[in-house]
């Protein structure tokens, strides 16, 4: 790779980081108030800045946050490192607002999530939230799911039946692959002890119907399609 290419990639990375931070700060500032007590914390690189801003405001404004509910090991560590109160859904089943990233968001705020293999816990937290807010950078904004995100719909599956599921998904017209781990021999194993299949359906015109079809298949624990859940989406744009 030439020095010119490296310079371009470096500038793009800087723009994306700035975009993520701006979107995260705006979301936290608009949806966390003095009345907010329980907050869902999503997973991924954008959520890092949500936690950063939340910790700043707790310190500067003395916000009385009772609990932050994590969606993954990563989210749990972010909460702990920020000095925020850590808890779980069984203790706080009603969440005031949850913040999370997305791999792609369509014009109706339907999302593909699960690039980080956390979609099951992310959906549990989002489903318990009065408000679910998606925060992302400009690369994730799309008219139709499957346009920008080309890696398929992440599906958390029972390990004992991943081979039959690959065949079933192929019969539905998908191009499914078992997600393999990096720096580990074998497949990705979720925080829940399951495998991930990435099922490429191309552009998804009707994500609601696809979600219903997929979740009805025995062995699929949860899908990365989040339909009708997000009511707000904040995109950090490349022009600031």
Give the helix/strand (H/E) hosting 156.
strand 153-157
pLDDT, greater one: 166 or 138: 166
Q: Indicate the pLDDT class of residue 8, thresholds 50, 70 and 90.
A: very low
Closest CA to 101 of 202, 168, 16: 16
Q: What pTM was estimated for this model as a whole?
A: 0.92
Cα 12 to Cα 15, 92, 148, distances in angstroms:
5, 39, 17
Tell me: the pLDDT tens digits for 178-218? 999 998 999 999 999 999 999 999 999 999 999 999 999 99
Percent of the chain with pLDDT over 70: 94
Exposure of 239 by Cβ count < 10 A (0-12 exposed, 13-18 middle, 19+ buried)?
A: exposed
Q: Is 122 a catalytic residue?
A: yes
Residue 27, C-beta contacts closer than 8 angstroms, at least 6 positions apart? 50, 99, 133, 135, 232, 234
The token pair that represents 98 in the structure block: 């949850």
pLDDT score, position 14: 81
- Selecting among 122, 156, 211, 222, the annotated active-site residue is 122
Give the integer Cα–Cα distance in Å for 172 and 191.
28
Give the integer Cα–Cα distance in Å for 68 and 81.
12
Per-residue pLDDT, averaged over 162-181, amounts to 98
């Amino acid at each position: 790779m030439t020095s010119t290419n490296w310079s371009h990639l470096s500038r793009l990375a800087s723009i994306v980081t700035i975009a993520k931070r701006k979107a995260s700060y705006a979301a936290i500032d608009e949806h966390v108030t003095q009345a907010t007590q329980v907050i869902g914390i999503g997973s991924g690189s954008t959520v890092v800045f949500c936690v950063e801003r939340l910790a700043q405001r707790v310190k500067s404004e003395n916000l009385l946050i009772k609990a932050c509910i994590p969606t993954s090991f990563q989210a749990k560590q972010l909460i702990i490192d920020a000095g925020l109160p850590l808890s779980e859904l069984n203790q706080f089943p009603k969440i005031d607002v949850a913040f999370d990233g997305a791999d792609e968001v369509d014009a109706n705020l339907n999302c593909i999530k699960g690039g980080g293999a956390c979609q099951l816990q992310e959906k549990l937290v989002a489903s318990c939230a009065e408000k679910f807010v998606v925060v992302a950078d400009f690369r994730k904004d799309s008219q139709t799911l499957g346009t920008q995100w080309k890696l398929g719909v992440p599906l958390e599956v029972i390990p004992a039946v991943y081979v039959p599921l690959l065949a079933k998904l192929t019969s539905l017209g998908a191009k499914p692959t078992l997600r393999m781990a990096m720096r580990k021999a074998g497949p990705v194993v979720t925080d829940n002890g399951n495998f991930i299949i990435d099922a490429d359906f191309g552009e998804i015109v009707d994500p609601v119907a696809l979600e219903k079809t997929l979740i009805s298949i025995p062995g699929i624990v949860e899908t990365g399609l989040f339909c009708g859940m997000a009511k707000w989406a904040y995109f950090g744009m490349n022009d600031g």
